[in-house]
Amino acid sequence: MVMFVPFGIIYCYYQKAFSIYKAIGLSFLTTFSIEAAQFIFKTGVVDIDDLIINTIGSLLGILLYIALQKILQWKQLWNVHEVIDTIATILPPLFISFVVEMFFGDGSPALRPVHNIILTGYGVCDYILLIKDFSLKSKLLYPAFYIGIFWLILSILI
């Protein structure tokens, strides 16, 4: 279910005129297509529970997007797209760090330099290359947010 939450967010994010029904329909069609491909190619197990649970996961993503949008409109802080862009640019190095720790780590601080290099290198490149279109407020918030997430992840990993 958790794996499909980003699908719901993505379906909302890329709609020009937001429609919750369209997002739910796309979520259902995506899950149905995956289950149909499993049936046709005889891979995995085709199950109606997967269809229901994955669609519910996408629905949670849709609801998360709507809640984030309402909170940001109410507080008049940022555009919902900028917040999602910021979060999306931070997730890849964190995922890489988790994978490195999962396959090569033993819980000791021996991999701390590797995590530091991955997270710092990506953060610098990301800041220079990817967020050039962000507003000034987001550009100033991004390093603080990234450094906070960076140290949180390092404390969890080690």
Q: Give 5-49 pLDDT, tens digit per residue.
A: 888 888 888 888 888 889 889 899 999 998 999 999 988 788 889
**CB half-sphere exposure, 5, CA atoms < 13 A:** 8
3-class DSSP state of 43: coil
**Mean pLDDT rounded to a whole number for the chain:** 79
Q: What is the pLDDT of residue 109?
A: 67
Predicted TM-score (pTM) above 0.85: no
